[in-house]
């Protein structure tokens, strides 16, 4: 799918990988972007940066069907279509099975992570697919592309990541059934499992912590650059033969237990 003048819905679009993807898609590909995020100040500032003709911000809770319905309506009203969906919203809340006293973890804490990182992805993906299915197909029969953000933790989760790893493994698990269901409609579904990237959250950590994390990266031994993630999203949109798969974007990293 060619991205020029296409409309992209990006959750977590006001910061981190989502924001970097929005910037890249507008500046490098000439796309239009809808930023779905809870942070109104950051979302509004990003729209000002990208230009109101290129972007819209919708304050959105990805776990709420009503919230997504309101956002989708606003996007359709402004741009008239949705062609791509990048689901980058997520929370890395630690959740051990047993606490220091040996007591079982709160189920509510586990559920919070699953609700945002897995159910939230499904919620937005489904709402966007509904609109994509109404698009006129392009020359290759494509109507839409969905990219869900997973994590290397889906494969080698660290201690305390039972909830986070489970949610991201679930994201990967949706690829094939979603690709099979939506493929006949001209909609492809893939996911990216990023490793260590220089997001604001990571950069805010103590330098010693950052250095220790980088030592787990194989080659090149550095953090991923934000545009490298955004470029991968563009690749998944533009290569019509990529479907139902996970791309591990992690410099051959294998995370250690802690």
With b for 16 or more beta-carbon neighbours within 10 A and e for fewer, the 180-218 pattern comes to eebeebbbbbbbbbbbbbbbeebeeeeeeebeebeebbe
- Judge whether 25 and 230 are in contact, CB under 8 Å: yes
- State yes or no: pLDDT of 218 exceeds 80: yes
Q: What is the pLDDT of residues 148-162, one digit of tens each?
A: 999 999 999 999 999
How far apart CA 240 and CA 183 sit, in angstroms, is: 11
Q: Which of these is catalytic: 24, 110, 155, 164?
A: 164
Q: What is the pLDDT of residue 234?
A: 98
d(CA 36, CA 73) in angstroms, rounded, equals 13
Q: Taking 90 as the threshold, does the pLDDT of residue 232 lie above it? A: yes
Catalytic site residue 164? yes
For residues 250 and 220, what is the distance between their CA atoms, to the nearest angstrom?
9
Q: What is the C-alpha to C-alpha distance for residues 109 and 107, in angstroms, rounded to an integer?
A: 5
**Is 127's pLDDT higher than 80?**
yes
- The mean pLDDT value for 234-238 works out to 98
CATH code 3.40.50.720 for 7-197+225-246? yes
The reported pLDDT for the residue numbered 199 is: 86
Decide if pLDDT at 212 tops 90: no
Per-residue pLDDT at 210:
87
How many residues would you count in the chain?
A: 258
| Phi-psi category of residue 206: left, alpha or beta, with phi > 0 → left and psi -120 to 50 → alpha | beta
206 confidence band (pLDDT: 50, 70, 90):
confident
Residue 201 scores a pLDDT above 80: no
Query: What digits encode the pLDDT tens for the residues 76-119?
Result: 999 999 999 999 999 999 999 999 999 999 999 999 999 999 99
pLDDT of residue 84: 99
- In terms of DSSP bridges, do strands 32-37 and 55-59 run parallel, antiparallel, or are they unpaired? parallel
Higher pLDDT, 235 or 212: 235
Q: Whose CA is closest to 43, among 32, 62, 26, 56?
A: 56
pLDDT value for 121:
98
135 cis-preceded (ω within 30 degrees of 0): no
Confidence band (pLDDT; 50, 70, 90) for 258?
A: confident
| pLDDT above 90 (res 200) | no
Give the bridge partners for 145, in sequence order: 84, 188
Q: Convert the pLDDT of each residue in 16-51 to its tens digit.
A: 999 999 999 999 999 999 999 999 999 999 999 999
> What pLDDT was estimated at residue 160?
94
- The mean pLDDT of the chain is 96
């Amino acid at each position: 799918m060619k991205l020029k003048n296409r409309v992209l819905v990006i959750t977590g679009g006001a910061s981190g990988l989502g924001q970097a993807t929005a910037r890249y898609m507008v500046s490098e590909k000439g796309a239009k972007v809808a930023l779905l995020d809870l942070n109104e100040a950051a979302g509004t500032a990003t729209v000002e940066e990208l230009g109101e003709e290129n972007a819209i911000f919708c304050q959105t809770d990805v776990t709420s069907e009503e919230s997504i319905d309101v956002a989708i309506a606003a996007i359709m009203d402004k741009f008239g279509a949705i062609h791509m969906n990048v689901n980058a919203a997520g929370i890395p809340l630690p959740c051990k099975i047993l606490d220091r006293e040996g007591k079982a973890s709160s189920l509510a804490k586990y559920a919070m992570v699953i609700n945002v990182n897995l159910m939230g992805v499904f919620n937005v993906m489904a709402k966007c697919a509904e609109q994509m299915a109404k698009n006129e197909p392009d020359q290759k029969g494509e109507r839409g592309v969905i990219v869900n953000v997973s994590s290397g933790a889906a494969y080698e989760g660290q201690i305390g990541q039972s909830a986070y790893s489970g949610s991201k493994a679930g994201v990967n698990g949706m690829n094939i059934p979603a690709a099979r269901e939506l493929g006949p409609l001209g909609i492809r579904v893939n996911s990216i499992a990023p490793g260590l990237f220089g997001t604001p959250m990571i950069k805010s950590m103590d330098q010693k912590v950052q250095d220790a994390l980088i030592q787990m990266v194989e080659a090149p031994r550095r953090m991923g650059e934000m545009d490298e993630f955004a470029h991968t999203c563009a690749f998944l949109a533009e290569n019509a033969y990529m479907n139902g798969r996970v791309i591990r974007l992690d410099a051959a990293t294998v995370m250690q237990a802690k």
